[in-house]
Amino acid sequence: MATVIVRPELSALLEQTGALHKHLCPRQVLGVRMGMLAAEKFPIELPQSGKRLIAFVESDGCFADGISVATGCSMGHRTLRLVDYGKVAATFVDTLSGAAIRFFPSPDVRKRAAEFAPEAGNRWQAQLEAYQRLPNEDIVLCREVALNLDLEAIVGKPGKRTTCSACGEEVLNQREVMKDEQALCMSCAGEGYWRVKG
């Protein structure tokens, strides 16, 4: 199995994501590597300072931070979206072309990590070392995909605000639901993730 030298760009990005957690873990490395691969697949300079690339991450935690550091996509810039499937996977979408590519770990990536670093003290250490050094094709797979979501609806209209007719709370970025010609927040429209107790 061929190995690659850790590139300075990778080292710098891993240092940044490690600083977020006071440590570096294998999932952060996977997130950074996937973000760097997105930069190779799209004609976009990453990490971005604008909003051309949107990343849909399929799990939260360290992995999402690795994606964010490598791509510049973030919740604060509305370019990082969590679709919690409990998977270490991410789909990147070029908002200009509409092209979308989904990245995910090779099914045997943990086995490859164990084979790569048999001297490691445990599986976690083997993965941490191997994910930094194995070639991309040994750890990450990708495929072109089409979104089942309306990208314009996801992006919404920044700066657009309305008030929920039921609760009076402000609703941003066209996230209101229209029922009987009244603007409602998703919770009042019955689509919320919470409800008032009692």
Q: Give yes or no on whether 8-152 and 156-198 have one common fold.
A: no
Per-residue pLDDT of 162-175, as tens digits, reads 999 999 999 988 88
Describe the crossing of helices 8-21 and 62-71 by its angle, rounded to 10 degrees.
130
| pTM given for the model | 0.85
156 vs 182 pLDDT, higher one? 182
Per-residue pLDDT of 116-155, as tens digits, reads 999 999 999 999 999 999 999 999 999 999 999 888 777 7
Given CATH 3.30.60, say whether it is the number of domain 156-198: yes
Q: What is the pLDDT of residue 66?
A: 96
Average pLDDT over every residue of 62-69: 96
DSSP element (H, E) containing 183 = strand 182-184
Cis-peptide into 158, omega within 30 deg: no
Average pLDDT over every residue of 14-26: 92
Domain ranges of the chain: 8-152, 156-198
Given CATH 3.40.50.1980, say whether it is the number of domain 8-152: no
198 vs 180 pLDDT, higher one? 180
